[in-house]
Amino acid sequence: MSIVRKERQTRETNISVTLDLYGEILEKSKITTGIGFLDHMLELFSFHSGILFEISAEGDTEVDYHHTVEDIGITLGQAMDSALGDRKGISRYGEATIPLEESLSQAVVDLARRPYLYFKAKFPVEKIGNFDAELIEEFFRALCMNALFTLHLRNFYGKNGHHIAESLFKAFAYAMKRALTQTEEELISTKGIL
Ligand SMILES: [Mn+2]
């Protein structure tokens, strides 16, 4: 297992990601995106998935959080794709349904190289704190398209925007943890390639 580093610099943002997919090398995650709510979501994703990473980001947050959130998704996604390598020896599929109080969300992952996001969650508020709720979908889309995997994410029900978001990120964490689990099977595909 190894560490993967990715950087992304544009006129809008400056992102750096260090990723330890199986939490074997880094001692803990260090997440400073400049966006408090996103830090909170990524910290709990890390805690529940066992994936450790350091993310630092500087972005044009004076405009809004859009560029920074999307570029973090892109960079973290690229790091995941590199860290997954040839995707041999992993379980490939993972599913989790996770509640947070009144909110219940499900994530289903297929780590084969088929970038796709199905996202179904309605937020009762436009903003969670100062974070635009619509950026949650943007984050997951950027992540899937760059990590090259399929993710279905849906919220069944929920009343509180913060709870809905948190149950989505936690469901994703457990689905990933399961999909990443090492297996005896060489490669889980009839094609012989993921
Ligand atoms: Mn919370």
Averaged over 158-184, what is the pLDDT?
97
CA of 83 relative to ligand 1 center, distance in Å: 28
pLDDT at 9 over 80: yes
Q: How, if at all, do strands 103-110 and 93-100 pair?
A: antiparallel
Answer yes or no: is 186 within a domain: no
Answer yes or no: is 106 within a domain: yes
CA of 44 relative to ligand 1 center, distance in Å: 9
Answer yes or no: is 47 within a domain: yes
Residue 123 pLDDT level (bands cut at 50, 70, 90):
very high
Answer yes or no: is 189 within a domain: no
What three-state secondary structure class fits 4?
A: strand
Answer yes or no: is 165 within a domain: yes
Domain carrying residue 99: 4-180
CA of 87 relative to ligand 1 center, distance in Å: 32
pLDDT at 73 over 70: yes
Answer yes or no: is 155 within a domain: yes
CA of 164 relative to ligand 1 center, distance in Å: 10
pTM: 0.96
Does residue 31 contact residue 42 with C-beta atoms inside 8 Å? yes
CA of 17 relative to ligand 1 center, distance in Å: 23
Q: Considering just the CA atoms, what is the radius of gyration of the chain in Å?
A: 16
Answer yes or no: is 105 within a domain: yes
**pLDDT tens digit sequence for 23-40:** 999 999 999 999 999 999
The domain tally of the chain equals 1
CA of 39 relative to ligand 1 center, distance in Å: 11
CA of 35 relative to ligand 1 center, distance in Å: 14
CATH code (residue 159): 3.30.230.40
How many helices (H) and strands (E) the chain has is answered by 4, 10
Answer yes or no: is 10 within a domain: yes
